[in-house]
Every structure is written in structure tokens, then in C-alpha cells.
Structure 1
């Protein structure tokens, strides 16, 4: 774990803090589509992502999901931080997008490190700022983009975080992420294929227009 931690966070945190993270953190490896955090659960730890990608989702009263943002290597979730600090139930669902390695930090260490380490405080504040900006972008896409633009943006984001122009995703999964219907997604994907922007494959989509 030490090598992976150093590579992902060595440029952010000082050696003493890295040693503490290694000492108290719980290292986990998870496959795709596994829940790290569920809505309504009390948050007992905060994830520091070492490898892979995590998607953060909200849910409406009907149980439909909306993708808020992705987390990548070197990231953490600001909404998790808020719940940890306030000892509140989680308001988000965190699901692995790909194979992931992460370190869960116990809730008790977060306030201690905020007072003890300047780099940790800066990391927390920067995480709040970044995630807030990403949520504003999500709101903008819903308010100002039509559905074909939203779908292309979503596909480009998934391609970027996975480092692959072939996105492994079904039409239904895209519909869940974007809070729309599979029929709408399938219709628009077919149009995008005709326009030469993507190629539809079995349970995957190749993106030409990155």
C-alpha cells in the first residue's frame, strides 16, 4: 500500500501524514459496480482513491438515480466529508465505475488532521471547491443542454476516466446515470451513430468525437 499511496498522494501530503494514513487507513480493492457507500447509511470513513474511478449518485423519491460526478485517483468526495464531520447519514451513493483501489480513513482522524496538517486542510477545501464546481456543471447540463449533448458529455467523461475510447456501458445504465429512459437513450445513441460520432457495439460504445 505504501508505494500506491506515495504515487497517488505523495505530491499532496507530507511524509508524516502519509505515514499516518498508512497506519490507520483500511486498504480495499473492489471490482466494477460495487457499492462503497449507500444513501441513508451513517458514514464511518472517507475514501481516498488510489486507482480507478468512482461515480457519485443521488436518488429521488421514486428511486431514480442521477449522476453527480466522478472521482478519480487522488480524489475524495466532499459530500462524504460533510457527512463525516457532521456525523450524518449519507446523502449519496458511491459505486465503483471500474476496478478500484482505495483507502478508507476512519472518521475520528479527519478533524484531528484538519487541525494538525496544513496540507490536509488544503486538500479538504480544494475537494469542496472541485466537487461543488462539478455539481454546478451537472446542474448546467440538465438546465441548458439537450439530451444528445448530455449523452455525449457523459460518454466523453467515462472515456476520459477509464482512459479508453470504448465505453463499457449498456443503454439502461446510461439512462440510470442521466435520469432518463432507456428508449430515449437508445434513440439518441442511434442518431449519434448515424452522425458518425460513435459506433454502437454489444454492451459498449466506441467514441470517435472525443
Structure 2
């Protein structure tokens, strides 16, 4: 565990903090598509990603979902942190975008490290800032981009997260993540293919225009 921690967080945390994370944290491995946190859950620990990627989703009153952002290796989820510190129920769903390994940090240690380690405080504040910026970007995308532009941005982000220009996703899954209908997604994907920006294959899409 220590080697993985150093590779993912060694540039952020001092050796003493890394050793304490390794000592008190618990490793969790999640398969792609597995739900990690559900709406209404009480969150008992803060995740630190060692590898892989997780997508964070929000739900409206009708039960429809909207993709907020992705977290990757070296990240944590600020909304999860907020639930931990406030001991409130989760308002997000976290789903593994790829096979993921993370270490869960107990709430009590999070508070202790905030007082003891400047690097931890900086990490927490930077996490809040990064996730806020990403949520503002999501709002801008919804407000100012046409749906075909939103789909193209979504595909580029997924390709970047997975490190592969071929995105494994159905039209229905894209519709869920972007809070729209499958019919609209299918029509616009066909248009993007005709424009030479993507190539459609069975349950996967090759992003030509990265």
C-alpha cells in the first residue's frame, strides 16, 4: 500500500502523513460500474484514489441523474468530504468509471490531520476548489452549449479519463449522464459521425476529434 500511496500522493503529503494513512486506512477495490456511494447514505470515510476513476452524479426530484464531474488518481471527492465532516446524508451517487482502487480514511483522522498537517489542509482546500470549478464548468456546459457540443465534451472527457480514444458507452448511458433522452443522443451521435468527429461502433464510440 505504501508504494501506491507514494506514487499517487507522495508529491502532496510528507512521509509521516503517508505512513499514518497507510496505517489507519483500508484498501477497497471496485469494479467498473459498481456503485460506491448512494443517495441518502451516511459516509463514514473519505476516499483517496490510488488508481482508476469515479464519476459523481446528482439526482433531481424526478429521479433523473446528471453527471457533475470525475475524480481520478490523486484526487478525493469534496462532496464526500463535506458529508463526512457534517455527518449528513450523501446527496450524490459515486460510480466506478473504471476498475478502481482507493483507500478509505476514517473521519476522526481527517479532523486530526487538518490540525496537524499543513499539506493535508492544503489538499482539502484544493479539493474543494477543484470540485467547485468542475461543477461551475458543468453549469456553464448546460447553460451555454448545444446538446451536440455537450455530447462531444462528454466523450472527450471520458476518453481522457480512460486513456483511450474508444469510449465504452451505450446511447442510453450517455442520455442518463447528460439528463436527456436516448433518441436525442442517438440522433446527435449520428450527426457527429457524419461531421467526422466520431465513429460509431456497437456499444462503443471512437473519438476522432480529440
Q: Same fold (TM over 0.5)?
A: yes
Q: Post-superposition shift, 1:107?
A: 1.2
Query: Residue 189 of structure 2 corresponds to which residue in structure 1?
Result: 189
Between stretches 131-140 and 24-33, larger displacement belongs to 24-33
Distance in 2 between the 1:158 and 1:40 partners?
Answer: 27
The alignment yields a C-alpha RMSD, in angstroms, of 0.5
Q: Deviations over 1:102-121 (max 9, x none)?
A: 00111111111100100000
Distance in 1 between the 2:90 and 2:24 partners?
Answer: 22
Q: Deviations over 1:37-66 (max 9, x none)?
A: 111011101110010100000001111100
Query: Residue 36 of structure 2 corresponds to which residue in structure 1?
Result: 36
Query: Residue 27 of structure 2 corresponds to which residue in structure 1?
Result: 27
Q: Post-superposition shift, 1:16?
A: 0.5
Query: Residue 200 of structure 2 corresponds to which residue in structure 1?
Result: 200
Q: Post-superposition shift, 1:69?
A: 0.2
The 3-state SS of whatever aligns with 2:47 is strand
Q: Which runs of 5+ in 1 are unaligned?
A: none
Q: Post-superposition shift, 1:30?
A: 1.2
Q: How many pairs does the alignment contain?
A: 210
TM-score normalized by the length of structure 1: 0.99
Q: Deviations over 1:51-89 (max 9, x none)?
A: 010000000111110000000110000111111111111
Which consecutive aligned stretches of 4+ in structure 1 deviate over 2 angstroms post-superposition? none
The 3-state SS of whatever aligns with 1:90 is coil
Query: Residue 56 of structure 1 corresponds to which residue in structure 2?
Result: 56
Query: Residue 46 of structure 1 corresponds to which residue in structure 2?
Result: 46
TM-score normalized by the length of structure 2: 0.99
Distance in 2 between the 1:23 and 1:178 partners?
Answer: 40
- The answer to whether 1:126 aligns with 2:160 is no
Q: Deviations over 1:174-194 (max 9, x none)?
A: 000000000000000000001
